[in-house]
Structure 1
Amino acid sequence: LTKVFEAGKHRPRYQVESISETEGVTLAAFPEFFGEQPATAKVRVSYIADTTARTLAFASGQIDMIEGVRAPGWADTMKQRSAETQFDMTAPGSFNFLHLNLTRAPLDNIKVRQAIRYALDSAALASAYGPMAKPMVGIIASQFEGSVTREELPEELQYKPDPEKAKALLAEAGFAGGVTIPCYTSQREDYAAIMLMIQEQLRAVGITLDMQIIDHNTFHADNRNDKNSMPLNSSSYGPLPINVFLQQTSAAAVVKADGKGQGNFSHYGVAIPGVDDLITQAQDEPDFDKRTVIFKEIEKKLLTDLPILGVITLSYVIARNPRVDLGYPVQSGYAYWPLSKAKKTA
C-alpha cells in the first residue's frame, strides 16, 4: 500500500478547480494522475434540487446530463420535449420492498398479508415507469441468479393479482367491512409515487392506508426506530442474493425501537420463525448451483410467510444529450459510473 501511495496511484483523474453556490463545482483533469488523462478536461457539476427546474435546464440545452426523475411518465415527457434524448439506466437498479411489520395488528394475521399480496399488481406498477422498472416476484431481481419466476412456483405462491380473492381473505380474517392500516412514506418522488399507487390498489379491496408523506430524512430515522407498520425500502444490490436476505430478513438485522437495529423492518425471524437456517446453509455452501437452489427455497419461504414483498426494481437514470458520448454503454451496476471517457461530439 505504501508503494502505491508513493507512486501516486491514489491520485484521482479530476481535481476541484472551483466551488460556487450558484455555479456548482468545476472539476479539472489532474495532470499527475497515473493513468490515461480523461477525454474531457473540465466538468461542471451543478446543484439543482428542484426536479422541474433540473428538467427544464436540460431541455433548454443549458446542461448536458441530469439525474433522472424516477416518477411515472417522466421519461415519456422527456421524449416529447426532445426525441433524441438518451437515457442511461442501471439494471436492475434499486430493489423496492414493502415490509409488513409482524408485530402490528392486523399485519400479524397471515390472511391479511395474503390479501395485500393478491391486491398488489406489480406489473401495473412497473408499467407506469416504462423501461425504468420491472415487476418483482420475490425479493431478488429477475436479472440475478436465485430469483424465482411465477411459473416455477406452486399455484398458491404465484399470487397472480386477484382483487376478489383479496376481499375473501380479508373477510376470513374478520375484516369483511375493510381495514385501516396507518403508515408513512418519504416525500421523495420514487417512494411517494410507488406508495400512492399501492395505496390505490389496496383501497380497491377494502384496505385503507392511513398514510402520511414526510421528509425523507425523518422517514429513514423513524423507520430505524421501528415506528412504521409498512415501510417501503429502496436499496441497490450487487448480484449476491445472500446480502439481500441478510440485510432484509435475518433475525440479526431486526429493527429496534432504540435505533440500534438494522433493516429487517418486518421483525421476521423474531416475531415468527424465519429463514436464518437457510441463510446459514447458503453461506456454507461452496457450490454455486446448490447455493442458488437454497436461495430459491428462501424465496419460497418468504412467499409463504409474506413478511416482505418484492414490488418493483427501478433503474437509476441519467438523461443525456446525444452530443455527449460516454465512451461505453451503461448496462448495469450501481448508480454512478465514471466520466473519464465522456466527451462532446458536437
Structure 2
Amino acid sequence: MKKTAILAGLTGALLASAALADGTTLNVGMGTADAGTLDPHVATTTPDKGLLHWMFNGLVRIKPGEASPEFIEPDIAESWTTSDDGLTWTFKLRDDVDCQGEYGNLDAEDVVYSLKRSANPDTSSFAKDYAPISSIEATGEYEVTITLAHAIPSLLGLLVPYHGGNIVCQDAVEALGDDFKTHPIGTGPFMFAEYQPQQYVKLVANPEYFRGEPQIKEIYYRYIPSDAARDLAFQAGEIDMIYGRQDQTWVERISKVPNTHVAVMTPGEMSVLHLNMTKPPLDDIRVRKAIAHAINIDAMTEFRGRDVTLPAISPVPEGYLGYSDDVPVYEYSIDKAKALLTEAGYPDGITIHAIHTTLPGMLATIEVIQALLREAGINLEIETVEHATFHSQIREDASQVVHYSAARFPVADTYLTQFFHSDAIVGTPTAITNFSHCDVADEEIEAARTEPNAEKQLELWATAQRKIMEEVCAVPIYQNLQLWAWKDNLDLGADIHASLNLSPAVTEKAHFTE
C-alpha cells in the first residue's frame, strides 16, 4: 500500500506534461529535494552542476562522454594560439553562437564579461581559480586574449563549461539581476523554461543552438530525494534517466530492470572527512590521528561496493595529474585510536559535531563513519539539514567536522588549492572549501603552480600531499564513482564513459529510438 501511494503521487506529477509520451520529452529523476542556485558561477552542488551542464558552453569543452583533459576540444572558441612562454593565449571565437532567448549574438565582450565575473569573489564561488589571470581583453569582435601572470597547470581546464568556465551572456545577467540565479541564460543546447520549487526545472530545446536544434524538445529535471520513490518511478517508466544511490546494491538491483542501461562513470567524487584543526579537541593532532585510525577504509569501500568505489589514500584523488600514494597511511586500529585519545587527555572519549546533508548517499556514509568512531569512544553528533543549507552552513565555518564529497578538474593543483591552501579557508575573504583550516603545504602548492619542470612539479605536489596527511588535516575515505541509469531506447548522442559535471552529457544529438 505504501509503495502504491508513493507511485500514485509521482504519477500525478509526472503526467502534468502532455508531451510525456511523445518521444521528445526526457524525464530525469535527481536525488535531492530542490535546486540550490542555478547561477553557474555560484552553483557548487552535484544536482545543480548536472543540470547546468546541459545549458551552457565554455570556450573549450571536454568531448561529451569523457572527463580527461586529453579530450579537450573547441566549443565557443573554434581555435586558439599560445605564446612561446605560455603566458598569452588568444582565442578565435565562432561568430554563430547566440544567447538563448532574445539576448542576441554572443561576441568577445560577452566572453570577457563572463570570465571577469568568474574571477570576481562577489559574483563567483570559483574566483580563486582565476587569480593567475592578469588580463582578459577583447582583441577583436570575435577574439579574446588572456594573459597570465605566471604559468599554471591548465588554463584550458578553467575554460571548459564547468564552474567558472560556463560562459554567460552580459545582457541577460544584467537584465535579470538577482533573478538570474533561478532563470539562467546560456548558449547551450537546452534553455531554461520553468522552475517549480521542490518539484522540477523544465528545460526546452534551443532552436538556435549553433550545433543544430536538439532532437529532445523538453527536459523535466525532477527533484525526488527518496531513493525508493525515484527507483519506483524509473521502474514504472515515468522516469527515463535516474541518478543512482551510490552503492553496489543499487547497481545490482537496477541492472535487473528490463531495457535498462546502467553507467558507472568517472571521475569519482572523493568522500573526505575534513577536521577543523582550530576547534578543540581537533586542534590536538593526537585526536585527529585517533579519528584516522578508527575509520576502516577497507570496510567503507566494501560497504559501498568494490565495483563502484575506489579506496582513498591521498588528499588528491587517484587518477588526477599529480596524485601520489607516497603518504602516511593510518591503518585501522581501535587500540591505537583509544591509546592516542588517552595520551591526549581523553581516556573517556570525545564528542565532536558535524552538520550534514540529507542527501541519501552521503548520509549513509557518515552514519557508517559514526558507527566506526563510536567503537573508539568518539561520539560523532550529526545535525542533518537540506543539501543547499548544508553547503551554506559549512562555508560559514559552522561545523567541527565536514564530510564533503567532490570531483574537480583532474589536476592536483585544483584539489590542493581549493581544499588545503590557507587562502581557501572558510570564513575568510578568499574562502573556497578549506574546511580544516589546513595551511601546512602552502609553500609546495604555490611553487608547483609555476614550476616549469614537470618532474619537479610532481615532486612538489607529492610533498604537499605528504604534509597534509602527516598533519591529518582530513581523512580521505573513498571515491564514489558516478551512478546513473537510463532506458535503452534513450540514445544520448555520445558514448558515456565519464562526466566532469557529474551528469551524463545530453547533447543536441540525444534522442529516443522508439
Q: Does 1:324 align with 2:490?
A: yes
Give the aligned partner of residue 34 of structure 1: 210
SS at match of 2:255: helix
Q: Quote the Cα distance in structure 2 between the aligned partners of 1:129 and 1:208.
A: 23
Q: Does 1:254 align with 2:430?
A: no
Q: Does 1:89 align with 2:259?
A: no
Shift of 1:331: 2.1
Q: Quote the Cα distance in structure 2 between the aligned partners of 1:83 and 1:251.
A: 51
Query: Given the superposition, is the C-alpha separation of residues 83 and 276 from structure 1 closer, same or farther in structure 2, using an over 3 Å criterion?
Result: same
| Pairing of 1:1-346 with structure 2 (within 5 A) | 7-8=96-97, 12=187, 14=189, 19=194, 25=202, 27-28=204-205, 30=207, 32-38=208-214, 40-51=215-226, 52-70=228-246, 73-80=249-256, 82=257, 85-130=260-305, 131-149=307-325, 152-153=326-327, 157-256=328-427, 261-269=431-439, 274-334=440-500, 335-336=502-503, 337-346=505-514
Shift of 1:105: 1.3
Conservation of the 8 A alpha-carbon contact between 2:216 and 2:508? no
Moved more, 21-30 or 127-136: 21-30
Q: Quote the Cα distance in structure 2 between the aligned partners of 1:219 and 1:15.
A: 29
Moved more, 283-292 or 123-132: 123-132
SS at match of 1:126: helix
SS at match of 2:222: coil
Q: Quote the Cα distance in structure 1 between the aligned partners of 2:475 and 2:200.
A: 42
Shift of 1:183: 2.3
Shift of 1:6: 5.2
After superposition, the C-alpha distances for 1:250-290 in whole angstroms (9 at most, x for unaligned) are 1111122x787332111122xxxx11111121112112232
Moved more, 159-168 or 67-76: 67-76
Q: Quote the Cα distance in structure 2 between the aligned partners of 1:15 and 1:111.
A: 52
After superposition, the C-alpha distances for 1:17-75 in whole angstroms (9 at most, x for unaligned) are 96596896363462x4333554x343432424243332211111222212223357332
Moved more, 325-334 or 287-296: 325-334
Paired amino acid for 2:426:
V
With normalisation by structure 2, the TM-score equals 0.59
SS at match of 1:167: helix
SS at match of 2:476: strand
SS at match of 2:485: strand
Q: Quote the Cα distance in structure 2 between the aligned partners of 1:195 and 1:75.
A: 21
Query: Given the superposition, is the C-alpha separation of residues 113 and 79 from structure 1 closer, same or farther in structure 2, using an over 3 Å criterion?
Result: same
Conservation of the 8 A alpha-carbon contact between 1:95 and 1:237? no
Report sequence identity in percent: 27
Q: Quote the Cα distance in structure 2 between the aligned partners of 1:14 and 1:284.
A: 37
Query: Given the superposition, is the C-alpha separation of residues 140 and 8 from structure 1 closer, same or farther in structure 2, using an over 3 Å criterion?
Result: closer
Shift of 1:315: 2.6
Q: Quote the Cα distance in structure 1 between the aligned partners of 2:209 and 2:444.
A: 47
Conservation of the 8 A alpha-carbon contact between 1:185 and 1:213? yes
Shift of 1:207: 0.9
Q: Quote the Cα distance in structure 2 between the aligned partners of 1:33 and 1:224.
A: 36
SS at match of 1:158: coil
Conservation of the 8 A alpha-carbon contact between 2:295 and 2:372? yes
Shift of 1:8: 4.2
Shift of 1:144: 1.7
Paired amino acid for 2:433:
G
Conservation of the 8 A alpha-carbon contact between 1:226 and 1:259? no
Query: Given the superposition, is the C-alpha separation of residues 186 and 50 from structure 1 closer, same or farther in structure 2, using an over 3 Å criterion?
Result: closer
Shift of 1:244: 1.0
Query: Given the superposition, is the C-alpha separation of residues 343 and 293 from structure 1 closer, same or farther in structure 2, using an over 3 Å criterion?
Result: same
Query: Given the superposition, is the C-alpha separation of residues 16 and 180 from structure 1 closer, same or farther in structure 2, using an over 3 Å criterion?
Result: closer
SS at match of 1:316: strand
Structure 1 regions of 5+ residues with no counterpart?
none
Q: Quote the Cα distance in structure 1 between the aligned partners of 2:238 and 2:497.
A: 26
Q: Quote the Cα distance in structure 1 between the aligned partners of 2:414 and 2:432.
A: 13
Q: Quote the Cα distance in structure 2 between the aligned partners of 1:19 and 1:264.
A: 35
Q: Quote the Cα distance in structure 2 between the aligned partners of 1:168 and 1:314.
A: 31
Q: Give the 4+ runs in structure 1 shifted more than 6 A.
A: none
SS at match of 2:448: helix
With normalisation by structure 1, the TM-score equals 0.85
Aligned residues: 333
Paired amino acid for 1:264:
N
Query: Given the superposition, is the C-alpha separation of residues 119 and 340 from structure 1 closer, same or farther in structure 2, using an over 3 Å criterion?
Result: same
Paired amino acid for 2:96:
A
Q: Quote the Cα distance in structure 1 between the aligned partners of 2:97 and 2:492.
A: 26
Query: Given the superposition, is the C-alpha separation of residues 143 and 19 from structure 1 closer, same or farther in structure 2, using an over 3 Å criterion?
Result: same
Shift of 1:203: 0.8
Shift of 1:170: 1.8
Q: Quote the Cα distance in structure 2 between the aligned partners of 1:146 and 1:79.
A: 35
